[in-house]
Copies of this chain bind each other. A is one copy, B any other.
Amino acid sequence: MTLPNMHYADLKDSYLFYDISQKVNAYIERNPQSRVLRLGIGDVTLPLCKAVTDALHSAVDDQSRQESFHGYMPECGAPFLREAIAAHYAGRGVSVGPEEVFVSSGASDELGDILSLFDVSNTALIPEPAYPAYVDANVMEGRKIIHLPTDENSGFLPLPDEKYKAGIIYLCSPNNPTGAVFTRELLKDWVDFANRNGNIIIFDAAYEAFIEDESVPRSIFEIEDAKSCAIEISSLSKTAGFTGTRLGYTVIPAELTRNGMNFNEMWVRNRTTKTNGVSYIIQKGAAAVFTDEGQRQIKENIRVYKNNARTLMNALDSAGMKYTGGRNAPYIWMKCPEGLDSWALFDYLLNEAGIVGTPGEGFGICAKEWFRFTSFGKTEDTEEAAKRLALLFAKRRSK
């Protein structure tokens, strides 16, 4: 008799975005004329930039002609893309070899796949609020989890503590959903903690392109000694609008070893067994992101999203609301007004203002007094939402 992986029975049902869409649909049915402003799901809305679509078209043409046709791609990534990504790191002063860069189908795919490198006996330390997949991917494999709640007192940043006995440590900066970013000093504390205890940090850098403060690290490998304790997982989803086009990359330092096993070599073995590489076409499009012209164009898009964030922040400032994020992150993480928890606020904003956000509770129970807005919406929607929010909160305040 085949035994299924019974750890799946331990997964909590994930109804967050399903519940949101049910509520939004019901609202639209009741208010067919209302203009619904969606600042909920963290999905981009601007099209791919021209440097990328030109490269994609050119790659499709390559695949249409025998003399330029590409079959199986190298499993760990095309050399042209691994080199482009390594050069991009070098441009920011981070020394990473092309053979330390692995091309993936996206950070969400990689965050699950990478767990194959770790024994199931490792406990995972997950600061919360967090991207729900960190927890679920570990529950599926039967790992124990230490949930590490963070709050506004630490700016939603987790602090290392010798009492945490965990083999795998998740750090995300800029954070989804809070927008919090690690300082160099705090990230160094975590690196030292991990090296001291022999732990490995999985550093989720999917939002690094939104960092504008020069002092804030965009890669964990900007921190001394990180190469002996960290894996960095990144993505073009938010950097270059690849949420539906799919491409990410992972850095596993050549020197990362534990118990005589080298993680870079293990990942090469994993990829050569479990994949035949990422689509040639998409890798060509991704390489265009790292050209000068590509960088210029993606930064124009990021500027649009950052202006959206600024618009929302100004509205919240004017209404005297408390929030984090927005400055170095695409997310604004707002404290719910007195007397409303995050689901109650969700209903209130939808019904009173036609605005869709994301209840903090969806990212961990510790966040049930907080609420996430994204800056990825259309600018005209974001401006309208900002007006409605300022009015609504000011009115509520004056009651």
Residues of chain A at the chain B interface (Cβ within 8 Å): 1-6, 8-9, 11, 14, 41, 43-48, 50, 53, 56-57, 60-61, 63-66, 69-73, 105-106, 108-109, 111-113, 116-119, 121-122, 132-133, 136-137, 140-141, 167-168, 197-200, 237, 241, 243-246, 258-259, 261, 263, 266, 269-270, 272-282
Given A5-B266, A269-B8: A64 and B47 within 8 A (CB)? yes
B243 adjacent to A276 (CB under 8 Å): yes
Check A244–B274 contact: CB distance below 8 A.
no
In the complex, which of the residues A133, A136, A167, A281 has the most CB atoms of chain B within 10 Å of its own CB atom? A281
Contact pick for A3, options B56, B71, B119, B273, CB 8 Å: B119
- A53: chain B residues at CB < 8 Å are 60-61, 63-64
Bound complex: CA A212 to CA B73 (Å): 29
Contact status B275-A243, CB under 8 Å: no
Do residues A109 and B276 form an inter-chain contact, with CB atoms below 8 A? yes
Q: How many copies does the complex hold?
A: 2
Contact B56 A69 (CB under 8 A): no
Write the chain B residue with the least CB distance to A135.
B273
Are A140 and B273 in contact, CB atoms less than 8 angstroms apart? yes
Q: Which residue of the partner chain, among B132, B273, B278, B281, contacts A136 with CB atoms under 8 Å?
A: B273
* A264 vs chain B, min Cβ distance (A): 12
